[in-house]
Amino acid sequence: MINNAIPLRIAGVGYSVPKAVVTNEDLTKLYDTSDEWIYTRTGIKERRMVSGDESAFELGVDAAKNALAKSDIKADDIELIIVATSAPSQLYPAMGCRIQAELGIPNNIPAFDITAACTGLIYALSIARGFIASGMYKNILIVATDNNSKLLDWSDRSCSILFGDGAGAMVVTASEDGVDDIISIDIKSDGSIGNIIEFNLAGKNCPLVEPNTEKPQFITMNGKEVYRFVARVLPEYVEQLVANAGMKNEDIDYLIPHQANLRIIQAVQERLGYSEDKVITNIERFGNTSAASIPLALVESVEQGKVKLGSTAILTGFGAGMTWGGAIVRLREGIC
């Protein structure tokens, strides 16, 4: 951290999910699969999918309103918008700009999108921390939103079972009481294995140069390789994150991980020696909602009384890139 860094306060966290529920049983109408196969390998029973007017944008706006309403910051006072999205409804205008317009946030502020897939929320939080620490901006809106269901190959049964749609949002601000809600934060990437989860914007070459070059555009994933990589890297990484913060595993109240696969979450849980009630999962009902998954798990577990505020949590994510990251955060009363 820079000298004289300004501390950050998490002021509000919100989420939004689409209405339509797609169960494992429903997926058996698309391909040869079963609830038993999906549930035992992933921990997923059902997920939400956008329909009608719903989209990553619409969910993002809703989550942002929700986070702002829980915070003590007004939309007019937001000075920067960062949207983490890898399955947006449009590549440009950036979702950040569209959310700015929709929320009526003054037009003299910057807004942009970042692509860090399922680690997007941690990346955005890290960027926001830098801007707040340096004094450049005070009030920042982070939105993490993905509509994966529109980018999936609905005949690929090993990939399309995993994902759902959703959005999360966080309002962060300069802390005025000297307490930093980010105890530690770290982001990483390894582009050399980027091909294990991809979404290619193939497009069409100019017909004068090369006719008929359009390729299908779907998320492709080598699930086994992703699983191997994350199961090897993540448990040790999270343990190290705690040690680097000068903390012990028992100093942390909750682990709130990206919801990609229950078996991966359990591997991290075992490494840290945490009991089940310390580890927050809602993958059973929402599947993998990419960037939205951490804020969705956080707020939903507060609503359900599983997470008590006035506590400390590890947030950790991983995804395409490959990217991964983690933050140890203070969860103040009233943020969600």
* Catalytic machinery residues: 118, 258, 288
Q: Does 281 bind ligand UT7 (CB under 6 A)?
A: no
Q: Does 158 bind ligand UT7 (CB under 6 A)?
A: yes
Within 54-113, which residues bind ligand UT7 (CB under 6 A)?
none
Interface mask (CB under 6 A) for ligand UT7, residues 109-148, using x and -? ---------x------------------------------
How far is 293 from 121, CA to CA, in rounded Å? 9
In the complex, the smallest distance separating the C-beta of residue 222 from ligand UT7, rounded to whole angstroms, is 8
Instruction: Identify the CA nearest to 280 among candidates 295, 297, 263, 296.
Output: 297
In the complex, the smallest distance separating the C-beta of residue 244 from ligand UT7, rounded to whole angstroms, is 24
Q: Does 261 bind ligand UT7 (CB under 6 A)?
A: yes
Q: 68 near 75, Cβ under 8 Å? A: yes
Q: Indicate which single residue of 127, 161, 307, 314 sits in contact with ligand UT7 (rule: CB under 6 A).
A: 161
Instruction: Identify the CA nearest to 233 among candidates 319, 118, 126, 328.
Output: 319
Long-range CB pairs of 34-42 (<8 Å, 24+ gap) are 38/161, 41/261, 41/263, 42/161, 42/162, 42/261, 42/262, 42/263, 42/283, 42/287
Q: Does 252 bind ligand UT7 (CB under 6 A)?
A: no
In the complex, the smallest distance separating the C-beta of residue 263 from ligand UT7, rounded to whole angstroms, is 7
Is 150 or 157 the residue whose CB approaches ligand UT7 more closely?
A: 157
What is the bridge-based pairing of β-strands 80-84 and 139-147?
parallel
Q: In whole angstroms, what separates CA 189 from the centre of its chain?
A: 16
Instruction: Identify the CA nearest to 166 among candidates 187, 190, 189, 145.
Output: 145
In the complex, the smallest distance separating the C-beta of residue 83 from ligand UT7, rounded to whole angstroms, is 18
What is the bridge-based pairing of β-strands 182-189 and 139-147?
unpaired
For binding to ligand UT7 (CB under 6 A), which residues are involved? Answer: 33, 37-38, 41-42, 118, 157-158, 161-162, 197, 223-224, 226-227, 230, 260-261, 288, 319
